[in-house]
Structure 1
Amino acid sequence: MAGPIVVGVDGSEASRAAIEWAAADARRRRLPLKVVHVCEQWPRGIDGRKYCLGTLEAGADSARAVSGDVEVSTELLEGNVVEALIAQSASAESLVLGSRGLGGFAGLVLGSVGMAVAGHAAGPAVIVRAPAVALHNQIVVGDDGSECAREAMAYAIEQARARHARLLVIYAWQAPIVSAYAPDYGLLLEDAFREESRTAQERVSRWRQEHPDIEITDHQVAEHPVPALSKASTTADLVVVGSRGLGGFASAVLGSVSHGVLHRAACPVAVVRPRGEES
């Protein structure tokens, strides 16, 4: 989608990291950047709008300092924070947020706003915890063959191309629940993993053929996807996951894997929902 990258700001430390990430992404991908702040209702007698405008302009100034010649616009929003940000995602190329805002508990790695928006955003939602301290030149994407995973792969390819980075595709296979007393239990699992890995490798092979300008590697592992992707995040600049995988409930807007990765990843996480999917 050709809309702007939208970043939500609230003056928190995580919000400043989100501004830095969004501005750099807009510069790399030659997209406009829109800085928004949701001004909630303030107590009587307090000029909340003045504070909100100050927060918005401070965020925009920070974005301009990072983004160079990128077109930066601002919009002050009102109402419920989650609803306002989700509405912005409908016309945004992606929505970028800090992992935890000013209203969160210090011990949490992901606030309620970030979690809610990641599950309901109309397109990619990027959650940023802290400023980058090292550059790895690698994007990691989780793949399970689902529609959400295909959308995640498309976004990961865009990111890898813009960054001139490698792309690592991880397929994490979970063994089905089978009685250990079943005949040939170990052989059955080995055969199943081998077949699933072959299918995953074939998907990656097609992506390599379609995108020869990107260095794409793949890794298949018999492990739960959350620890597999979390470990890979320690040497990645971004982890990309679909909002729901093949194992999720149809009514769930945010699957257990994306939920787990958001809480455990060591780098920014992009959660991608297919556009047009009902929330």
Structure 2
Amino acid sequence: MNGHITVGVDGSPAASNAVRWAADEAVRRDLALRIVHVAGVYAYDIPLRQAVAVYESLEDYSASVLREAEALARRRQPFLPVDTVLRKGVVAEVLRAEAEDAVALVLGSRGYGRFSRGRIGSVSAALAGHAPCPVVVVHDLPVRERGEIAVGFDECSAAALRFAFAEADRRGARLRAVHAWQPPAISPFVLGADPIFDELFEAARHRAVLVLQRWRDRHPRVRVIEQIVPGGAVEAICRASAAADLVVVGSRGRGPLSSALLGSVSRGVLHGSRCPVAVVRPMAAAIGSAA
């Protein structure tokens, strides 16, 4: 056993789902599980004037969060090596530092903070674009395994494809590779009704097939379903998520951690996916697919 998966917890239902997913993934990869909770008034958006009054209770709460998360992981996977870590500081910054030596960072889609009412919390969005390893954001878990991984890709998606093919190979799952081709911005053409449109679409399909071939050669055991369609990438990938155990997308996020910068496709999939989403930056792909 070499390495670990890190999961961030805050006591929320979404974090509990993240622990379940991370425990299962750690067993699949023969890794340990590290559960991290960030304690402090900043973690819960509590005004400074209340800090002294609540600090002791936050310490107690933090300890209980870690105990419950560890117990959940051990119930889920009784033989999984688990350790817990309590940190203080700004949540996104602390978890990013914890991700430096992790194979993957797993987070709930939203927590208990003031900015967590949307489908994706601010911490998850920030880390998905900037963590040094692949980040898996867990919504509701599928009731049963479907045996399928979905990946959105284009000519610049080597990181996402590397991760997705390795994950499908590891699980013995089929891989649905989704490439959405956007037709010209101003076009009266309809697929199947105009030769020029059909030629453009066929050229796009051919390029996508060539992109996939490199990864097919590396993972001959993986059954690949090519899904090359005209239209928007977010809509196509989110439709594929309905039959998948995991969706994989790339990220070209740049800028400071506080900017929470994600590409429009990654952000759209995080908000619309019906299963957990792995966001893979180029520098993170080799880490996440190596174990």
Question: TM-score of the superposition, structure 1-length normalised?
Answer: 0.89
| Aligned AA (1:17) | N
Match of 1:232 in 2: 240
The match for 1:22 is 22
For 2:216 and 2:248, the matched residues in 1 are separated by 18
Which of 101, 107, 121 aligns to 1:111? It is 121
* Aligned equivalent of 1:141: 151
Q: CA-to-partner distance for each residue in 1:146-191, whole Å, 9 max, x for gaps?
A: 1xx211111112221222111111111112324659xxx9544322
* Residue equivalent to 1:8: 8
Pair 1:89–1:209, CA change in 2 (3 A):
same
2:119 and 2:271 in contact (8 A); partners too: yes
2:106 counterpart (73, 78, 96)? 96
DSSP 3-state at the match of 2:65: helix
The aligned amino acid for 1:94 is A
Per-residue Cα deviation, 1:185-212 (whole angstroms, up to 9, x for no partner) = 9544322221111011122233222211
Does 2:274 align with 1:263?
no
Give the match for residue 222 of structure 2. Answer: 214
Amino acid at match of 1:76: L
Residues 176-215 of structure 1 aligned to structure 2 (within 5 Å): 176-178=184-186, 180=188, 186-215=194-223
In structure 2, distance between residues paired with 1:201 and 1:63: 40
User: Is contact 1:127-1:268 (8 Å) kept?
Assistant: yes
The question of whether the paired residues in 1 share the 8 Å contact of 2:251 and 2:279 is answered with: yes
Paired letter, 2:78: G
Aligned CA-pair RMSD: 2.2
The CA deviation string for residues 209-232 of structure 1, in whole angstroms up to 9 with x for no partner, is 221121122111001100000000
Corresponding residue pairs, total:
267
For structure 1, the 5+ residue unaligned runs are none
* Residues 212 and 97 (structure 1), Cα distance of their counterparts in 2 relative to 1, 3 Å cut: same
Greater fraction of residues in helix: 2
3-state SS, counterpart of residue 90 of structure 1: helix
CA drift of 1:4 comes to: 1.3
Moved more, 119-128 or 197-206: 197-206
Residues 130-150 of structure 1: CA deviation (Å, up to 9, x unaligned):
23212210000011011xx21
| Aligned residues of 1:238 and 1:270 also touching (Cα < 8 A) | yes
1:84 correspondence with 2:94: yes
CA distance in 2, matches of 1:126, 1:276: 12
| SS at structure 1 position matched to 2:141 | coil
Alignment of 1:170-181 (within 5 A): 170-178=178-186, 180=188
Aligned partners of 2:116 and 2:122 also within 8 Å: no
Instruction: Say yes or no: does 1:63 pair with 2:89.
Output: no
How far apart are the structure 2 equivalents of 1:124 and 1:3? Answer: 14
CA contact (8 A) 1:17 1:129 kept: yes
Q: CA deviation at 1:116?
A: 1.0
2:170 to 137, 162, 168: 162
| Structure 2 residue matching 1:33: 3-state secondary structure | strand
**1:250 & 1:28 partners in 2: Cα distance?**
31
Identity of aligned residues (%): 41
Instruction: Tell which deviates more after alignment, 133-142 or 199-208.
Output: 199-208
Q: Which amino acid aligns with 2:20?
A: E
In structure 2, distance between residues paired with 1:90 and 1:223: 37
Deviation at 1:106, TM superposition (A): 7.3
Alpha-carbon shift at residue 45 of structure 1 (Å): 3.6
Instruction: Give the one of 131, 149, 154 matched to 2:141.
Output: 131
3-state DSSP class of the match of 2:18?
A: helix
Residue 72 of structure 1 aligns to which amino acid in structure 2? V
